[in-house]
Chains A and B, each alone.
Chain A
């Protein structure tokens, strides 16, 4: 899984780079617009170590942000699953909040929390949280009639059991969206660093943009892609493992 993810990324990256270089030589563009292979390699050698550390810094915040967003989406999804007025209110409020673009909210978060770690974490969690919430709300609002009916008529249904049944029946969907949301957590952290941070690969990209240095941006993209591929592969592996263990336990949701 890990090897497949990595070489798939390398193929995409190499194809993108080849396309850029093709354009450069076809249109006769200078190294200022698109750096040549030698300059890209020199830049890679110059900033590789620093950008690797920056990317790990970003990834660590993205992982934390994703955990926060999973907790938040699960809590709100469970509250919003109810067909009561409160459940409906939570659902509507959650949908409405999604309408605000994060770049508009970011300056407010920045004023309230200042620059640095917490701001990055909050923005990463907010960007990652919305799609997770949609899936959790969808899963938790959909009764699994054939199983839930039994527990209801025997009087054994509790809310925890209801959540367990619905989660188990949609485990594949949930693990897939958690793995997919890693990309959003990473993107969210980079956006946060771009707007309000002094660290991370997003901050380094911002500086490279100021210097019109596409070579540095290509190196940054390489690091982001590789680290994300590894992280997603780990999440997929963990998801598959959880699924197998639950299935091996016979799917005993009532225990």
Chain B
């Protein structure tokens, strides 16, 4: 009987402790990560995962090297910069297929149907940030440079955009985008979004990363983690589970009203699972190649890093 009890208790005791560092605070962008944890997907895979919220001062890749986390979420530019400096980071899944980093603008101004329409506009960019890299790529594609537009430095608040001092303002489409669009529409100023992917710039956003050593020494642990995580994302974005998914986000993001959370979830679904039946987590190799080429072209990395060698996830067929 004692033996039976021990055997029954064994799976729980044997759960592998794992720390998973997110890129940002818990919101709709992390619904699958939270869902996998709260709804027992990790536990079922024999993992005791501690999901830690990210933030502006957090860098999952550094934590992987320091041994403070085993898995994390990082953007493509972080991965490529880290690879350029010899970091042993590898990508095991790509969550966002469409980059949520887009630009918001007032619907009252002419729509941006062509990149040449950017000429003469005042555009918000975060100097040193992803959005600067993306916008400079778009401007180069349009044959424009700094003299043809006015770039305005972006900080934490949206005042310059609200006041009309900027025409375009960078925004995370599925989180801030919903909140700001709602606020402006209620104030009688409907908005549109400018998505760089519509103009051929597919700069990869958040991906799941781990340490090369962990992949080599414990491939089974990496496989179980990835599988449980992607199952969590799949379930969270399944329309049939929408109520549970919303309830999960609301536990971690109580300040966002339920109707906005629902809209954020729907947009997140489009960015992570662009088509019904899409296998979540698939690595978009072409987009990674383009991301590296963009960074190389702008002198953000001194030489090629062969980022494709860092991709160890399910690839686009």
A contacts, CB < 8 Å to B:
27, 29-33, 35, 39, 107, 110-111, 115, 195-196, 198, 206-212
A198's closest neighbor in chain B, by CB? Answer: B153
Q: Is the CB of A212 within 8 A of B153?
A: no
- Inter-chain CA distance A206–B62, complex, in Å, is 18
Q: Is the CB of B153 within 8 A of A115?
A: yes
Residues of A contacting B128 in the complex (Cβ-Cβ under 8 angstroms) = 206-211
| Selected contact of B127 from candidates A32, A195, A207, CB within 8 Å | A207
Residues of A contacting B290 in the complex (Cβ-Cβ under 8 angstroms) = none
A196-B62 contact, Cβ under 8 Å, with A30-B85, A32-B86, A210-B129 = no
Q: Is the CB of B159 within 8 A of A33?
A: no
Q: Is B278 an interface residue (CB 8 A)?
A: no
A32-B87 contact, Cβ under 8 Å, with A210-B128, A212-B82 = yes
| Selected contact of A30 from candidates B56, B87, B127, B129, CB within 8 Å | B87
Q: Is B155 an interface residue (CB 8 A)?
A: yes
A194's closest neighbor in chain B, by CB? Answer: B155
A32-B61 contact, Cβ under 8 Å, with A208-B128, A210-B126, A212-B82 = yes
A196-B81 contact, Cβ under 8 Å, with A33-B65, A208-B128 = no
B129's closest neighbor in chain A, by CB? Answer: A210
Q: Is the CB of A110 within 8 A of B129?
A: no
A31-B86 contact, Cβ under 8 Å, with A110-B155, A196-B155, A206-B128 = yes
- Tell me the residues in window 52-95 of chain B with beta carbons closer than 8 Å to chain A beta carbons: 56-57, 59, 61-62, 65-66, 78, 81-82, 84-89
Q: Is the CB of A107 within 8 A of B65?
A: no
Shortest Cβ distance from residue A157 to the other chain B in the assembled complex, whole angstroms: 51
Q: Is the CB of B156 within 8 A of A107?
A: yes
Q: Is B157 an interface residue (CB 8 A)?
A: yes
- A-B pairs, 10 with minimum CB distance: A207-B128, A210-B128, A31-B85, A32-B85, A32-B87, A30-B87, A32-B82, A30-B86, A198-B153, A33-B62
Shortest Cβ distance from residue B306 to the other chain A in the assembled complex, whole angstroms: 16
A29-B65 contact, Cβ under 8 Å, with A110-B157, A195-B156, A207-B127 = yes
- Tell me the residues in window 198-257 of chain B with beta carbons closer than 8 Å to chain A beta carbons: none
- Tell me the residues in window 126-176 of chain B with beta carbons closer than 8 Å to chain A beta carbons: 126-129, 153, 155-157, 159
Residues of B contacting A29 in the complex (Cβ-Cβ under 8 angstroms) = 65-66
Number of residue pairs spanning A and B whose beta carbons lie under 8 angstroms apart: 62
Residues of B contacting A196 in the complex (Cβ-Cβ under 8 angstroms) = 155
A30-B88 contact, Cβ under 8 Å, with A210-B129, A212-B59 = yes
Extra contacts, 10 of them, besides A115-B153, A212-B82 (Cβ < 8 A), are A27-B66, A30-B65, A30-B82, A32-B89, A33-B62, A107-B157, A111-B159, A207-B127, A211-B300, A212-B78
Greatest chain A CB density within 10 A among B57, B61, B129, B157 is at B157
Shortest Cβ distance from residue B79 to the other chain A in the assembled complex, whole angstroms: 10
Shortest Cβ distance from residue A23 to the other chain B in the assembled complex, whole angstroms: 9
- Inter-chain CA distance A208–B59, complex, in Å, is 13
- Inter-chain CA distance A208–B153, complex, in Å, is 15
B63's closest neighbor in chain A, by CB? Answer: A33
How would residues 6 to 25 of chain B score, 1 for a CB under 8 Å from any chain A CB and 0 otherwise?
A: 00000000000000000000
Q: Is the CB of B155 within 8 A of A32?
A: no
Residues of A contacting B81 in the complex (Cβ-Cβ under 8 angstroms) = 32, 211-212
Residues of B contacting A110 in the complex (Cβ-Cβ under 8 angstroms) = 155, 157, 159
Residues of A contacting B88 in the complex (Cβ-Cβ under 8 angstroms) = 30
Residues of A contacting B78 in the complex (Cβ-Cβ under 8 angstroms) = 212
Residues of B contacting A211 in the complex (Cβ-Cβ under 8 angstroms) = 81, 128, 300
Residues of A contacting B156 in the complex (Cβ-Cβ under 8 angstroms) = 107, 195
Q: Is the CB of B65 within 8 A of A32?
A: yes
Residues of B contacting A212 in the complex (Cβ-Cβ under 8 angstroms) = 59, 61-62, 78, 81-82
- Inter-chain CA distance A209–B81, complex, in Å, is 12
- Inter-chain CA distance A207–B130, complex, in Å, is 11
Shortest Cβ distance from residue B29 to the other chain A in the assembled complex, whole angstroms: 18
Residues of B contacting A209 in the complex (Cβ-Cβ under 8 angstroms) = 56-57, 128
Residues of B contacting A33 in the complex (Cβ-Cβ under 8 angstroms) = 62, 65-66, 87
Give 6 pairs: A residue, B residue, CB < 8 Å, sorted on A: A32-B89, A107-B156, A115-B153, A209-B56, A211-B81, A212-B78
Shortest Cβ distance from residue B146 to the other chain A in the assembled complex, whole angstroms: 14
B89's closest neighbor in chain A, by CB? Answer: A32
- Inter-chain CA distance A111–B126, complex, in Å, is 18
- Inter-chain CA distance A30–B64, complex, in Å, is 11
